[in-house]
Amino acid sequence: MDDEIDISLTVNETERHLSVSPRLLLSDLLRHRLGLTGTHVGCEQGVCGSCTVLLDGRPVRSCLLFAVQADGTEVGTIEGVANEDASLSTVQQAFSDNHAMQCGFCTSGFVMSIEAFLRAVPDPTDEQILEVLGGHICRCTGYQNIIAAVRAAAQKGVGV
Amino acid sequence: MKPAPFKYICSTSTDAAIASLAEYGDEAKILAGGQSLVPMMNLRLARPEVLIDINRIDELGVLATHDGLRVGAAVRQADVELSADAARVAPLVVEALGHVAHPQLRNRGTVVGSIAHHDPLAELPMVAAALDAQVVLASSRGSRTVEATQFFTGFLSTVAEADEVVTEVYFPALASGITTGFSEFARRRGDYAVVAAAVTLRFDDTGTISDTTIALAGAADRPVRCRDTEATLLGQVATAEVWREAGAHAAQASGVEPPSDHEGSSDFRRSLIAGVVRDALARAAR
């Protein structure tokens, strides 16, 4: 019943070919099969947001996707966010400048959502920012510095 | 926890999905957005032996707005929410979508899936009831259309048989002059409702109400249409007092039997119902 299925997907612009069990979650494929442990697993219910990755450019919960469903797609994770020269992206730098992370567990999920959001909505209202950030839980920071980081990154501009 | 093993079928046509459903019956579940199903599978509250993935069926990805709002089973909530045409023909659906979970979940979740899954505290089943939406079901035995208020039978239960898949939901075009209103009470934005109300209103030339629908979430184990309350509003003018009275009437309406649980007592929910009905009507009249 659980026969493995061959899939091909692009992860952070690199083509990957794997054979997976249908029940393997995308979050577990990324972390355990590809060693990309920057994507975190907090709830496996879709609530906490720490597993958020980009699927064909859209922020989605990798814990609620089966790896087989990602066949033929482009997946973006936190490991692919920094610039080619390894300098931090505008959003990452804004997180650093604004002390928007403490333990860091929620951070990669937040960054993925924000990277996509600021490309879609370069000049967001506070309400729009809160709507997007509302999809992520942080136990450390109290969120204010994260909001400040989003405003700072929007101010600077994230490019395409 | 991780999901139990299952057989995965990726269907490329509706006919293929229907054939797989006919073969596997109640051993199978349809996988669309998965934003309700996969959490249940991750907790092993659901252990389907077969998953039939309908996300790659082109004809189910159609969103049509030329005659009301027709949403195929694979259409993402986000795509409806961000469609200017959908906002024009079905503003109540688009407004409700802003209250459904969070943007990241709406990127995968589907409008049809939320209705087919039927959590009675979800926003879309209630909106379907307010708009007299039509639910289209298909199986190897043919297809049938069920009106929304007949479709929901209880918590996570609908009239869909084990071998049926909901292929689309059709929200009829609102007659000219009809306005809509939505109001939800929840602990946090994006949570399931504690209670919510979705209404439509039409005024005639004399400025009195000639037509109205009022649907509630959180008042029972399925959306409740407050038809008695609707009748009391006919012929009335739009005043704050009229809305307040309608809210109070709805709170005690036939079919309104809110539960008592950790979120509050039945009486508390009734007082909330009065509030969201009053609020939704006032918004529709603005």
Q: Which residues of B touch A113 (CB under 8 A)?
A: 103-104
Nearest-CB residue to B6 (from A23, A25, A28): A23
Q: Which residues of A touch B43 (CB under 8 A)?
A: 44-45
Q: What are phi and psi of A38, to 5 degrees?
A: -70, -25
The burial of B281, by beta-carbon neighbours within 10 Å (0-12 exposed, 13-18 middle, 19 or more buried), is given as buried
Question: ipTM of the assembly?
Answer: 0.97
Q: Which residues of B touch A28 (CB under 8 A)?
A: 2
Cβ of B6 and A63 within 8 Å? no
Q: What CA–CA distance (Å, rounded) separates B115 from B48?
A: 19
B interface with A, Cβ–Cβ < 8 A, is: 1-8, 10, 31, 34-35, 38-39, 42-43, 49, 51, 53, 55, 78, 98, 101-105, 107-108, 188-190
Q: What CA–CA distance (Å, rounded) separates A46 from A52?
A: 9
Which of A4, A44, A71, A106 to mutate to test binding with chain B, by most B CBs within 10 Å of its CB?
A44
Cβ-proximal residues to A154 (8 Å cutoff; 6+ apart), any chain: A118, A122, A123, A124
Cβ of B3 and A69 within 8 Å? no
Q: How many CB atoms sit inside 10 A of residue B97's CB?
A: 24
Nearest-CB residue to B42 (from A2, A44, A68): A44
Report the residue of chain B nearest A59, measured CA to CA.
B104
Which of B102, B114, B117, B188 to mutate to test binding with chain A, by most A CBs within 10 Å of its CB?
B102
Mind listing the pLDDT tens digit for each residue in A130-153?
999 999 999 999 999 999 999 999
Can you give the pLDDT at residue A110? Answer: 98
Q: Which residues of A touch B61 (CB under 8 A)?
A: none
Q: What CA–CA distance (Å, rounded) separates A71 from A88?
A: 29
Q: What mean pLDDT, rounded, does chain B reach? A: 97
Can you give the pLDDT at residue A1? Answer: 55
CB B226 within 8 A of CB B253: yes
Q: What CA–CA distance (Å, rounded) separates B223 from B238?
A: 25
Q: How many CB atoms sit inside 10 A of residue A79's CB?
A: 16
Tokens of A131: 């709507």
Q: What CA–CA distance (Å, rounded) separates B124 from B151?
A: 13
Strand partners, B31: B53
**CA angle, A43 as apex, A42 and A45 as ends, to 5°?**
145
Q: What CA–CA distance (Å, rounded) separates A98 from A142?
A: 13
Q: What mean pLDDT, rounded, does chain A reach? A: 97
DSSP 8-state symbol, A25: B
Helix axes A144-156, A126-133, angle to 10 degrees: 120
Cβ-proximal residues to B261 (8 Å cutoff; 6+ apart), any chain: none
Helix (H, G, I), strand (E, B) or coil at B153: strand
Q: pLDDT band for position A159 (50/70/90)?
A: confident
Helices (H) and strands (E) in chain A, counts: 5, 5
Comparing CA positions, the residue from B147, B119, B122 lying closest to residue B133 is B147
Report the residue of chain A nearest B8, measured CA to CA.
A22
Q: Which residues of B touch A135 (CB under 8 A)?
A: 101-105, 190
Direct distance between the N- and C-terminal alpha carbons of chain A, in angstroms, rounded to an integer:
43
- Measure in Å the smallest separation between the Cα of A16 and chain B Cα atoms: 20
Mind listing the pLDDT tens digit for each residue in B204-232?
999 999 999 999 999 999 999 999 999 99
Mind listing the pLDDT tens digit for each residue in A2-28?
679 999 999 999 999 999 999 999 999
Cβ of A22 and B5 within 8 Å? yes
Helix axes A144-156, A90-97, angle to 10 degrees: 140
Give me the mean pLDDT over the B113-139 stretch. 98
- Measure in Å the smallest separation between the Cα of B269 and chain A Cα atoms: 25
Mind listing the pLDDT tens digit for each residue in A73-121?
999 999 999 999 999 999 999 999 999 999 999 999 999 999 999 999 9
**Sheet bearing B7-10, strands edge to edge:** B7-10, B50-53, B28-31
Q: What CA–CA distance (Å, rounded) separates A10 from B186?
A: 39
Can you give the pLDDT at residue A2? Answer: 61
Cβ of A135 and B103 within 8 Å? yes
